[in-house]
Amino acid sequence: MMKAIELLASGERDVFQVMALTLIVSGTATAMSVALGIPLGLWLALKDFSLKQVLTSLVNFGMGLPPVVVGLGVSLCLWRYGPLGNLELMYTPIAMIVAQAIIALPIVASLSFAAILSIDPKLRWQLLSMGATSWQANLLLIKEARLGLMAAVIAGFGRVISEVGASMMVGGNIKGQTRVLTTAIVMEVGKGNYDVAIAISLILLIVAYSVIVLLTILQHNKSSKL
């Protein structure tokens, strides 16, 4: 604990740079997964089609998708001779964001799906019968399910900020460019600097807990207005 305090109190530029990049990468990846996952969960909950159970099972399966598999898939796409190799995104924060967003997407979508299903199924039909458009009805459903949706956001963020396998594969743990807190911990353990690794681990826990506390406060504020 004292080592973590020393690292923070020293104002060492590398430590704060790694913390900032961690928040940028994980925050952006979470935002992307929310932007895609909530509409997907809403669509799965409200639409009836022949392959609905198959698609739902795939989304649920994705919740446990190994990060290293995601990292491998993204790497194959971004390598020089891959389909997206011309973009030269390998070993960049963008590649890490894409990998983390893919990891969080099924979690957000599945929990959003469950949140929408927890609402009275007759509510949407009542809204439509009262003159609401399909878009307005969907927005009202999202508002009613906002507690569950916020839980989906928290779960998605918690998954990506603690992720290391995919980040190492597509980011490369390059100092000053793609090194985040999780990959820094792995590096220090590999070097035998266990005291520094423990200190960085504590910093990671503090950062993750601070963000989740903020999201939880927002969630409780919303619940008090219900």
Helices (H) and strands (E) in the chain, counts: 11, 0
Side chain identity, residue 58: L
The pair of three-digit structure tokens given for residue 164, joined into one six-digit string: 């290391």
Query: Rounded to whole angstroms, how far apart are CA atoms 204 and 160?
Result: 12
Q: How would you write the pLDDT of the chain (226 residues) with one tens digit per residue?
A: 565 666 666 656 677 888 899 999 999 999 999 999 999 998 998 888 888 899 999 999 999 889 999 999 999 999 988 899 899 999 999 999 999 999 999 999 999 999 988 887 677 777 778 877 777 887 888 888 888 899 999 999 999 999 999 999 999 999 889 999 999 999 989 988 888 888 888 889 988 999 999 888 887 775 555 5
In the chain the domains, ranked by start, together with CATH numbers, are: 2-224 (1.10.3720.10)
What angle is formed at CA 23 by the lines to CA 203 and CA 184, rounded to 5 degrees? 50
The 10 Å Cβ neighbour count of residue 1 is 8
HSE toward the beta carbon, residue 155, CA cutoff 13 A: 20
The pair of three-digit structure tokens given for residue 216, joined into one six-digit string: 């939880």
Please tell me whether the overall predicted TM-score, pTM, comes out greater than 0.85 for this model.
yes
